[in-house]
């Protein structure tokens, strides 16, 4: 007779079950849902999922896990792109989606405090009558706790910055279950170490974010959006570079390669010219937007761009940006049955043309289709490398292309990840990027989470 193996982290699960009752699940379906994100990494299931409804709930989960040295992994919407939420060492997934209350809106201070599970669209819907909005838009309707954890950015970052610039303060549960608030609501402070920025981008490895205070912005008097086709990716990129160097406060500027424009046309029922394309959005007063448009149109013309094609109404604008956000899905359909490997380098704008030129050579030589797109105003762009999931050679090749791209970006003083984060996918690149600074990150992790229970295996290898 073979003894049945004890369930992994059984004592932890038992204790959590006693505390949380039906809000703890060990069902395979729920665990599977919490053991996969939007990356290419295979499932890694947690041993149980706790549905938290308060900071106190999260404290209890962490305290119980700490006692048993069981890993604990925060879960928002599961839209991370580098395996961030995978339970690669088992443990407990703490699902924060039930912490979805907007706790406080201060229109006077242009700020808001939300529970970590509130999504960006929910927030913008909640505040729509205040004349304010929250600009950070990574595409997915991610939770704001998750966006803070990964230092997310997206299409509006060129004007409004990333989560780094837009988080004013956090409530965080530490590895021993204590809870701290990292900052008060003053717009600036010189009062000690910047713990807010330390937790932003720490991917759940230093603490679990349960509340987020965010900056808001007035909805601009005038918003205009347009697309413009160019004779080459280089011509489009050169336009962007000139624009950024002129200090034009563009709100969005997105690049799509020609094959992706074709895919987007098909997917979103649009009829844009099939050519390398920039999508623009301008925010400001009526006069300010008119000035920006004039300057950008002149720069586009200098680089052989077509006339702007305007999205006049809010409905047309929403359709345009929805199409941009759906570009990923549109791209996937260009190779049925494929899987996409996403890259995410970001370089100083003066090095963007060189970085993209080298990358285009790689794209031409590749044995599979590759789409290019991105937030070029920040020097940040993505490749979607479409591989056959059943062909290990393509998987290898995609990783080689990514590695060459990252090395190229690093040699141009750039970063291996502009916005997706490290997760499980960029650990080795992080070493190449930061050198000895990694030892400082590791020391901080070790002192803040000595038993390595907080999302272990992400950002840093601790063994």
Residues numbered 257-296 forming contacts with a copy of itself, rule: CB under 8 A: 284-285, 287-288, 291
CB of 237 to a copy of itself, least distance (A): 13
Which x/- pattern, by CB under 8 A, does the window 398-437 give for a copy of itself?
-----------xx--xxxxxxxxxx---x--xx--xxxxx
Other C-beta atoms closer than 10 Å to the C-beta of 411 total 13
> Within positions 132 to 171, which residues make up the interface with a copy of itself, using CB under 8 A?
150-153, 157, 161-162, 164-165
* Cβ nearer to a copy of itself, comparing 48 with 216: 216
Cα 150 to Cα 64, 84, 445, distances in angstroms: 25, 9, 16
H or E element at residue 213: strand 208-215
Sign, CA dihedral 354-283-123-113, equals: positive
CB of 68 to a copy of itself, least distance (A): 22
Of the candidate spans 10-18, 198-206, 264-272, 310-318, the one that interacts with a copy of itself by CB under 8 A turns out to be: 198-206
Of the candidate spans 28-36, 120-128, 327-335, 443-451, the one that interacts with a copy of itself by CB under 8 A turns out to be: 443-451
462 binds a copy of itself (CB under 8 A): no
CB of 304 to a copy of itself, least distance (A): 21
CA atoms within 13 A on the CB side of 318: 3
* Cβ nearer to a copy of itself, comparing 70 with 171: 171
Write phi, then psi, for 240 (nearest 5 degrees): -65, -45
Task: Out of 12, 55, 59, 182, point to the residue binding a copy of itself (CB under 8 A).
Answer: 182
Place of tokens 């996937």: 332
63 binds a copy of itself (CB under 8 A): no
Two tokens at 17? 């079950």
Tell me if 175 sits within 8 A of 66, measured CB to CB: yes
461 binds a copy of itself (CB under 8 A): no
CA–CA separation, 243 vs 255, rounded Å? 14
User: In 207-313, which residue ranges form alpha helices assigned H by DSSP?
Assistant: 233-245, 258-268, 286-302
Tell me if 240 sits within 8 A of 377, measured CB to CB: yes
Task: Out of 155, 210, 380, 398, point to the residue binding a copy of itself (CB under 8 A).
Answer: 380
Task: Out of 67, 101, 197, 399, point to the residue binding a copy of itself (CB under 8 A).
Answer: 197
> Within positions 4 to 33, which residues make up the interface with a copy of itself, using CB under 8 A?
none
Place of tokens 């729509």: 128
Of the candidate spans 7-15, 303-311, 393-401, 438-446, the one that interacts with a copy of itself by CB under 8 A turns out to be: 438-446
CB of 258 to a copy of itself, least distance (A): 26
| Pairing mode, strands 179-181 and 208-215 | unpaired
Tell me if 289 sits within 8 A of 249, measured CB to CB: no
């Amino acid at each position: 007779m073979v003894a049945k193996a004890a369930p992994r982290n059984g004592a932890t699960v038992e204790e959590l079950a006693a505390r949380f009752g039906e809000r703890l699940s060990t069902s395979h379906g729920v665990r599977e849902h919490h053991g996969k994100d939007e990356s290419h990494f295979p499932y890694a299931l947690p041993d149980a999922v706790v549905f938290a409804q308060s900071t106190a709930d999260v404290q209890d989960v962490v305290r119980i896990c700490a006692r048993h040295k069981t890993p604990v992994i925060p879960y928002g919407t599961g839209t991370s792109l580098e395996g961030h939420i995978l339970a690669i060492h088992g443990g407990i997934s703490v699902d924060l989606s039930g912490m979805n209350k907007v706790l406080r809106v201060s229109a006077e201070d242009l700020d808001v405090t939300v529970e970590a599970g509130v999504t960006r669209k929910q927030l913008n819907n909640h505040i729509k009558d205040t004349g304010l909005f929250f600009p950070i838009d990574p595409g997915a309707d991610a939770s704001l706790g998750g966006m803070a954890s990964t230092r997310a950015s997206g299409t509006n970052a060129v004007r409004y910055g990333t989560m780094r610039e837009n988080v004013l303060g956090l409530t965080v549960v530490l590895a021993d279950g204590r809870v701290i608030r990292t900052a008060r609501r003053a717009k600036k402070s010189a009062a000690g170490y910047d713990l807010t920025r330390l937790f932003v981008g720490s991917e759940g490895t230093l603490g679990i974010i349960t509340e987020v205070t965010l900056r808001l912005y007035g909805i601009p008097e005038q918003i205009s959006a347009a697309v413009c086709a160019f004779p080459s990716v280089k011509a489009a990129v050169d336009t962007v570079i000139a624009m950024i160097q002129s200090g034009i406060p563009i709100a969005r500027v997105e690049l799509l390669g020609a094959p992706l424009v074709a895919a987007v046309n098909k997917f979103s029922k649009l009829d844009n010219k099939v050519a390398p394309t920039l999508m623009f959005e301008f925010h400001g007063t009526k006069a300010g937007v008119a000035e920006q448009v004039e300057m950008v149109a002149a720069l586009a013309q200098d680089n052989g761009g077509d006339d702007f094609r305007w999205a006049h109404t809010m409905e047309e604008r929403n359709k345009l940006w929805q199409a941009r956000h759906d570009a990923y899905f549109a791209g996937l359909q260009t190779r049925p049955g494929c899987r996409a490997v996403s890259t995410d380098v970001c370089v100083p704008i003066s090095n963007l043309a060189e970085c993209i030129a080298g990358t285009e050579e790689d794209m031409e030589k590749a044995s599979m289709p590759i789409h290019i797109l991105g937030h070029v105003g920040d020097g940040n762009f993505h490749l979607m490398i479409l591989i056959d999931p059943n062909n290990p050679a393509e998987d290898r090749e995609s990783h080689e292309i990514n590695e060459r791209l990252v090395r190229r970006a690093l040699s141009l003083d750039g970063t291996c990840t502009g916005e997706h984060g490290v997760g499980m996918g960029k650990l080795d690149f992080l070493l190449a990027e930061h050198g000895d600074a990694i030892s400082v990150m590791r020391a901080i992790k070790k002192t803040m989470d000595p038993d390595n229970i907080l999302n272990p295996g992400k950002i840093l290898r601790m063994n």
